[in-house]
Amino acid sequence: MSIWQKLFGRKSGTESPEPLDPRFRWIKDTIWGKRWDEIPFEDCISRLLLILRDDPKCKPALEWAAMFAHGNIKRLGFEVIRNPLLDPIFAQCDECGDCWIPDPTAKAVAMNIVLNPIGVGCDKCGRVLCRRCYEQLTVTCSRCRRDMESVIHANGRKRPARRYYGN
Ligand SMILES: [Zn+2]
Ligand SMILES: [Zn+2]
């Protein structure tokens, strides 16, 4: 699957990032025709940060940022990773504060069965635990007594993280 299909070829047209939004033209031109591993992720995220600076809730910009940063955490500079404008794309463990970016493609999959997920969350109260913590504690939510499942939606970074899980 090409990056273009990955970003724009979703079935539900309404949720797709706006390909015609002129703010995204630079990114569109930059990634067009490139393989995933040829994309200058940090440059693209820096561009998105300029958009987010003016419009911090811009949903397509956040979706793109998550798409570019997921799987690339280790390759990105800390000034980028720590930028508060990116807080919404992170999942954060309520116990230890470690962060990761939920797989942006997982939202498109109806069944959310992941073995040994990077983190789990409670559907009811929103409690989130990273792998290290749920292995020590349990995947049962301590508040609601129900099993937590792989985190699909970022719960947002609320405090500085000591560690980032960078798949
Ligand atoms: Zn944790
Ligand atoms: Zn709960």
DSSP the chain: --HHHHHH--S-GGGS--TT-GGGHHHHHHHTT--GGGS-HHHHHHHHHHHHHH-TT-HHHHHHHHHHHTTTGGGS-HHHHT-GGGGGG-EE-TTT--EE---GGGGG-S----SS-SEEE-TTT--EEEHHHHHHS-SB-TTT-SB-EE--S-----S--S-B---
> Mean pLDDT score of the chain, rounded to an integer?
86
Contact 125, 141 (CB under 8 A): yes
Decide the pairing of beta strands 99-100 and 119-121: unpaired
Ranges 3-17, 57-71, 89-103, 123-137: which has the least confidence: 3-17
- Kindly identify the ligand whose nearest atom is closest to the C-alpha of 161: 1
Q: What is the pLDDT of residues 68-89, one digit of tens each?
A: 999 888 889 889 999 999 999 9
Q: What is the pLDDT of residue 21?
A: 80
Return contacts of 9-15, CB within 8 angstroms, 24+ apart. Answer: 10/108, 11/108
Contact 50, 58 (CB under 8 A): no
Domain ranges, residue 101: 90-167
Instruction: List the one residue out of 36, 39, 163 whose CA is nearest residue 47.
Output: 39
Q: 117 CA to middle of ligand 1, Å?
A: 13
Q: What is the pLDDT of residues 87-101, one digit of tens each?
A: 999 999 999 999 999
Ion ligand 2, residues whose Cβ is below 5 A away: 122, 124-125, 127, 141, 143-144
Q: 61 CA to middle of ligand 2, Å?
A: 30
Residue 102 shares a structural domain with residue 165:
yes
In the chain, the number of structural domains is 2
Residue 8 shares a structural domain with residue 69:
yes
Q: Which of 86, 106, 130 is the last residue of a domain?
A: 86
Residue 115 shares a structural domain with residue 156:
yes
Residue 36 shares a structural domain with residue 112:
no
Residue 14 shares a structural domain with residue 82:
yes
- Kindly identify the ligand whose nearest atom is closest to the C-alpha of 149: 2
- Kindly identify the ligand whose nearest atom is closest to the C-alpha of 133: 1
Q: 141 CA to middle of ligand 2, Å?
A: 5
Residue 163 shares a structural domain with residue 94:
yes
Kindly report the pTM of this predicted structure.
Answer: 0.84
- Kindly identify the ligand whose nearest atom is closest to the C-alpha of 121: 2
Q: 16 CA to middle of ligand 1, Å?
A: 32
- Tokens 């939606």 correspond to 153
Q: 24 CA to middle of ligand 1, Å?
A: 35
Residue 73 shares a structural domain with residue 97:
no
Q: Which of 86, 118, 144 is the last residue of a domain?
A: 86
Residue 82 shares a structural domain with residue 6:
yes
